[in-house]
Structure 1
Amino acid sequence: MNYRHSFHAGNFADLVKHALLLWLLERRQAAGPVTVLDTHAGAGIYDLTGDAVRSREAEAGIERLMAAAERPPRIEALAREVASLNPHGGVRLYPGSPVLVARRLRAEDRYLGFELNPPVLDLLVEALEPFAQADARAGDGYDQARAAARRAPAPLVLIDPPFEQADDYMRAADVAAAIVRADPKAVVAVWTPLKDLETFDAFLRRLAEAGAKGALVAEARLRPLTNPMKMNGCAMVVLNPPPGSEAAAREICGWVAGTLGDDGARAEVWTT
């Protein structure tokens, strides 16, 4: 695949995804041991002085977050993680979901991330080396996570594909629904870009047709969804959302849209 997340690391969509992921992990840990499954793990950690300089997306995302004078608690949680990776100040390193989760694991918790791209897998293995409870595996994350979920009671699953392949929306919906059908206690969070409503609505219909009811949809729209060639916003769709998810999503999406968005930006949080 041609997609390289190093160009996009630390952008507004990462902030939504990672702030909500940290909150979901905290909630699951409060209930007992947790296994986190990550279908498209990526490199684990990103140097924002590399590819990200060219896109300037981190400049408009995590750099603005870290410079903000006021941050609500669930945004502050992400800021603390980023600050701890940059002890000398600034924002040179940005953690992907593997490192964010691995740094929060207790002895009884586990993280398993899947990556299909061999060079990126090598980076992921290196990034997770300090964390005994975290592991990286090669392979198709959709199939691997679905199989791993059957062996991990009540997992927390992040489905976060690049949406570069034509069937990514379909496979993400089908795998998410299959996991919660097999384990009603599983929590599955699917990240998607928001380019146009037709594509996103088709994804939600696919989820419903696959049997996933009552999902929490958290949208952060930075601009109107009028140009399908641009990522105008992003969404996290959470199946089996734990109590408090709606309030957490409103705080996160509201801050990102309100602080980083253009005129007309808005957050929407609702249940299917």
Structure 2
Amino acid sequence: MNYRHSFHAGNSADVVKHSLLMALVRALQHKPGALTLIDTHAGCGLYDLGGEQAQRTGEAAQGVLRAFADTDPLLDEYRAAVRAVNAGGGPQLYPGSPQILAQLLRPQDCLILNEKHPEDVQALRGAMRDTPAAVHQRDAYELWLAMVPPRTPRGVVVVDPPYEQTDERNRITATLAAAQRKWAHGVTVIWYPLKDRATHGRWKEQLRKLGLPKLLDVEHWLYDSDQPGIYNGAGLFIVNPPYAFTQALPPLLEALRAALAPEGHRGSLTAEWLG
């Protein structure tokens, strides 16, 4: 599966991912101690929803535009983050995870971004020029292991690969296991696409076998039954989510499900502990 960010910017997966990422970081910021935020597959940082790649798929219509048409106040902070990169009116530009994370930084926090693709890392450096982010161009899994544990007492690693390689899930599983041995209390967020339940079920079992004591799986299935051969949704594995985040999660998930449900479908957006 090819999931280059630029083709799918602002889709339903981005709405869920960025809403939950904001809620997670805000929950960690209830404590004053510094945070290091690390994005291993950062992409371009900022996307033109009117550009050729985004227009080719048109997925923002079922994502950020639905979120903007919704009135639930639980999505207000997400909508504010998108408005922050737009001059006014509807969303013309969409902030990727690097821009979302940069908006959340407090003076004591730091942001480390990584993107291996040559064109995307150049765009990323431009998009993040006015932020304190450090930008790297390295293998994502090598950087992940090299950066943990961070210098600050706490941190978050965001892993959001394009799933272009057939061994992507195996590399994530192996790197997560190694990272947890180095940084057992670290918070890790792993984004994934959903195409069929069997593939996802097998990966969940692999991760369950790692024996991580706090592993949360958030699954967003767009349709009421699987649609063969197409994108069916996306989700997040979250290692060591803070209590304040998990307590506030159910109403946020319901707000997102309701805003993003395709016509004729209720869909589901659920959280399940795997460890």
TM-score, structure 2 as length reference: 0.91
Moved more, 219-228 or 44-53: 219-228
Give yes or no for contact 1:39–1:141 (8 Å, CA) kept in 2. Answer: yes
Question: Counterpart of 2:61 in structure 1: which amino acid?
Answer: E
Residue 38 of structure 1 and its aligned partner are, at CA, apart by 0.7
CA distance in 2, matches of 1:29, 1:244: 10
Identical-residue share of aligned pairs (%): 35
Q: Residue 107 of structure 2 aligns with which residue?
A: 107
Distance apart, 1:246 and its partner CA: 2.9
**Alpha-carbon offset, residue 119 of structure 1:** 0.7
Alignment partner of 1:88: what SS?
Answer: coil
Is 1:194 paired with 2:194?
yes
Distance apart, 1:3 and its partner CA: 4.5
Over 3 Å counting, the alpha-carbon distance change for 1:3 and 1:222 in structure 2 is: closer
Deviation sequence 1:182-202 (CA, Å, 0-9, x none) = 222210111111111121122
Matches within 5 A, 1:120-269: 120-132=120-132, 134-152=133-151, 153-224=153-224, 226-262=226-262, 263-269=265-271
Which segments of 5 or more consecutive residues in structure 2 lack a partner in the other structure? none
Name the residue aligned to 2:81.
81
> Aligned-pair RMSD on alpha carbons?
1.8
* Displaced runs of 4 or more, over 4 A: none
Taking a change above 3 Å as real, the CA distance of residues 72 and 181 of structure 1, as seen in their structure-2 partners, is farther
**Cα displacement string for residues 223-258 of structure 1 (whole angstroms, at most 9, x for unaligned residues):** 145235222111111111100333443333322322
Q: Which moved more, 1:226-235 or 1:97-106?
A: 226-235
Contact 1:157 1:188 in 2 (8 A): yes
User: 1:5: which partner in 2?
Assistant: 5
Question: Hey, what's the Cα distance between the residues in 1 that align with 2:77 and 2:22?
Answer: 8
2:47 aligns with 46
Confirm or deny: 8 A CA contact 1:40 1:114 kept in the other structure: yes
Kindly indicate whether residue 66 of structure 2 is the aligned counterpart of residue 64 of structure 1.
yes
Aligned to 1:35: 36
Deviation at 1:144, TM superposition (A): 0.3
Alpha-carbon distance in 2 for matches of 1:166, 1:252 = 33
Q: Residue type matched to 2:144 in 1?
A: A
Deviation at 1:7, TM superposition (A): 1.2
Point out which structure has higher relative CO (alpha carbons under 8 A, 6+ apart). 2
Which string of whole-angstrom CA distances, capped at 9 and with x for unpartnered residues, describes residues 175-217 of structure 1? 2233233222210111111111121122222222333233111
Aligned residues: 269
Q: Give the Cα–Cα distance (whole angstroms) in 2 for the partners of residues 2 and 271 of structure 1.
A: 28
Q: Does the CA contact (< 8 Å) of 1:196 and 1:226 recur in 2?
A: yes
After superposition, what is the alpha-carbon deviation per residue over 1:67-110, rounded to whole angstroms, capped at 9, x for unaligned? 22x2242x221101111222321110110000111122122111
TM-score (norm 1): 0.92
Aligned residue for 1:139, secondary structure, equals: coil
Q: Distance in 1 between matches of 2:228 and 2:178?
A: 29
1-side partners of 2:210 and 2:174: how far apart?
6
CA distance in structure 1 between the aligned counterparts of 2:259 and 2:214, rounded to whole angstroms: 29
Asked whether the 8 Å contact 1:39–1:158 carries over to 2, the reply is: yes
